């Protein structure tokens, strides 16, 4: 999808087809209100929603495959984050810490964010506080992330060059 949101892509496809939102919504077995929310990105569509809208728009198989795959990836990511939130994000950090502790060589490229292993408590707080976590959950997450840095100072760890 090259950086364009699913909702926006669906709106652009509908507008390019010349069809009215009400007609597309009816053909996709959803309310016009729901289609509007999807197109305005106020509602993340399910994979089934995307498939129905694309079928109503009679798009090519190539377009259908691309947008359906993007919807599948978005749903998978959303499910993973819901699971992390439910079980506690700090536990996810502990899982990462265990993997990092066993790692001899790690190569990482993150062009937008300082890698978690190198973040300061203040940086973690600034990044995560935007997501509305409760204070106790945020503090647990910060502590878990800081514990990951123990691997950096472990004198028994193998040093490779």
10-residue block means of pLDDT along the chain (161 residues)? 77 95 95 95 90 94 92 83 79 84 80 86 89 86 89 69 43
C-alpha–C-alpha distance, residues 78 and 70, integer Å: 12
C-alpha–C-alpha distance, residues 49 and 44, integer Å: 9
pLDDT of the residue at 2: 46
pLDDT of the residue at 77: 79
pLDDT of the residue at 15: 96
The structure's pTM equals 0.53
Domain boundaries, the chain: 6-85, 88-153
Residue 50 zone, left/alpha/beta (φ > 0; ψ -120 to 50; rest): alpha
pLDDT of the residue at 37: 95
The sign one gets for the Cα dihedral 75, 39, 23, 14 is negative
pLDDT of the residue at 157: 61
CATH number, span 6-85: 1.10.260.40
């Amino acid at each position: 999808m090259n950086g364009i949101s699913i909702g926006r892509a669906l709106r652009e496809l509908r507008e390019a087809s010349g069809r009215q939102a009400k007609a597309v919504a009816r053909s996709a077995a959803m309310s016009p209100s729901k289609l509007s929310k999807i197109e305005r990105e106020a509602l993340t569509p399910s994979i089934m929603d995307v498939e129905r809208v694309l079928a109503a728009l009679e798009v090519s198989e190539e377009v259908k495959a691309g947008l359906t795959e993007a919807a599948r990836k978005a749903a998978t990511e959303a499910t993973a984050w819901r699971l992390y939130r439910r079980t506690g994000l700090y536990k996810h950090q502990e899982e990462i810490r265990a993997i990092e502790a066993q790692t001899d060589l790690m190569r990482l490229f993150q062009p937008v964010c300082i890698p978690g292993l190198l973040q300061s408590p203040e940086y973690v707080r600034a990044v995560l506080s935007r997501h509305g976590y409760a204070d106790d959950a945020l503090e647990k997450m910060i502590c878990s992330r800081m514990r990951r840095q123990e691997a950096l100072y472990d004198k028994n760890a193998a040093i490779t060059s």
